[in-house]
Structure formats: structure tokens, C-alpha cells
Amino acid sequence: MPVDITNPKPGVEAASLTDVGLQRDNNEDSYLYWEPEPEDEFRRKGRLAIIADGMGGYEGGQEASRLAVETVRHVYDHNFNGDPQSTLIISLQAAHDAIQRYAFDHPEFSGMGTTCTALAIVDHQLFFAHVGDSRLYLIRGEAIQRLTRDHSYVGRLVETGIVRSEDAESHPQRHILTAALGSGHELIPDAPAHPISLQHGDLLILCTDGLWSVVGERQLAQIANANPPAEACRKLVRAALDRGAPDNVTVIILRVAF
């Protein structure tokens, strides 16, 4: 399984891996890890990681997730306003608009859309913006915390207490989204009220539902803690495949080493 091992600037170890899974013919997930090369730009903008899970048919989902990742990266780099958090939100809005324009120009892709979770690490601080049901986890020591909430029908049922959180990941309607880039007129991404201060040894995991729906949080944390990021990516994807991998599986792991 060829893992994408980036060579980031000191302070973070990074790896990522995607797999089509066992029941899909194509991979509609897209992902990216990026840093600006010039040192002054890096100090301002930090590191960027993005994951997206497309929907909308054979080519529509692929195109939507690709557009999301490319647009967020371009806007974050070229329209950075000095505030990583607001720039991430602006970037997701730009991606939303780009996907809607593409669907308008290509009617055969009507209904295309994508989840998108994007994070930035600037000066030991974590910022993120999120739409859909891809997830961002923070692992600190033995504890794992999900930082994003699922914009899904079942996510709403959990929030209102109708469905238990432990039952949500196997719920038959868990894939019905209530928000996605390219879908609807108004986009309101989730974002933290304040940046999260990162510590040495923290692990950040971005993943699509092809992973979290079949691999529980406890195993996710155990594998990520016990292995370097590249090997953890392999083992997590293998765990999803061993459980039937009904969807595309994508994961990015960042280990903080400040």
C-alpha cells in the first residue's frame, strides 16, 4: 500500500493514504497536505491539510472533491488575510461557489457536492473549518477527541438524543448529509470559537467516513499512537478493508513534534 509521505518542515510528521475500498469502482475522495516554501510565508500561513469526500455520480463526486481541495488550497495561499481561521472559512465558501458554477456549466453533474474538512497549523495553534461528515480527531496521550460534528441526518438524531452516539456509525441512514460544499444556497461552515493550542506528541487525524464508519475511535487511537504516521495510515486502511470497506477510505495523520 503506497503511503504518501510528505517531507514537511520541522515540527510535524505527516503521512496520508487513500484506497477505493471493496465495493466502489472509483475513488471520490481527495486530500492534500501543503506548506508554503518561503520561510516568511510559512511563518504567516503555516501548514494546511484538507480532506474531501465527493458525491454526485461516477465523475461528479470526483470532480467536486478535487475542486474543493484545489480551491481551498489556492484561496488560502493567494488570499490569506492574516487570520488563518477566517481565511479557511472564506476558502470553503469559495470552493462551494466553484462547485456550484461547475455544476451549472455541466448539467450532467447536477447534484454534485462534497464534504470538506480543512485545518491549518500556525505557530503551534490549530485552526479548522468543516462541512459534511468527514472528521478531524485530536489524540493527546491515550485520549481521543472528535473536533468536528457530522452534518448528517443521523448526526442531528444524535444531537437531539434520539440515537445513541455508539449506534450512529452503523445506522443505515448515516450517509445522508444535511450540509455539503456545492449543495444549497447558504453555507455556514463549522469552526472553533478559538484556536486550539497543540502540544508535542499530539496527533491529528483527518478521515472520510469510509474509515470512521468501520473503525471505532478506540482502535483509531491505539493504531495511531503505536505507529509512525505512515505505518498507522497503512494499518488503519487495512483495518477498514478487513471490515469490508463499503466506501472509499482516506486518512491523513499529522504528528506534532514541536
Q: What pLDDT does residue 152 have?
A: 72
Q: What pLDDT does residue 177 have?
A: 87
Q: What pLDDT does residue 163 have?
A: 54
DSSP string, 27-61: --EEEEEE--SSHHHHHHH-EEEEEEEEESSTTHH
Which three-class secondary structure state does DSSP give residue 80?
coil
Q: What pLDDT does residue 231 have?
A: 97
Residue by residue, pLDDT tens for the chain (258 residues) are 677 777 889 999 999 999 999 999 999 999 999 999 999 999 999 999 999 999 986 689 999 999 999 999 999 999 999 999 999 999 999 999 999 999 999 999 989 999 999 999 999 999 999 999 999 999 999 999 999 999 876 665 555 666 566 555 665 556 678 889 999 888 999 999 999 999 999 999 999 999 999 999 999 999 999 999 999 999 999 999 999 999 999 999 999 998
Q: What pLDDT does residue 258 have?
A: 86
Q: What pLDDT does residue 253 have?
A: 98
Q: What pLDDT does residue 168 have?
A: 56
First to last CA, the chain: 29
Alpha carbons 250 and 28: distance in angstroms, whole number: 10
- For the chain, the domain total comes to 1
Alpha carbons 125 and 138: distance in angstroms, whole number: 13
Note down the domain range covering 196: 4-256
Q: What pLDDT does residue 27 have?
A: 96
Residue 109 gets which letter from DSSP? Answer: G
Instruction: Give the cell for residue 195.
Output: 484556536
Task: Give the domain CATH number at 81.
Answer: 3.60.40.10
Which three-class secondary structure state does DSSP give residue 130?
strand
Instruction: Give the cell for residue 180.
Output: 455539503
Alpha carbons 144 and 32: distance in angstroms, whole number: 23
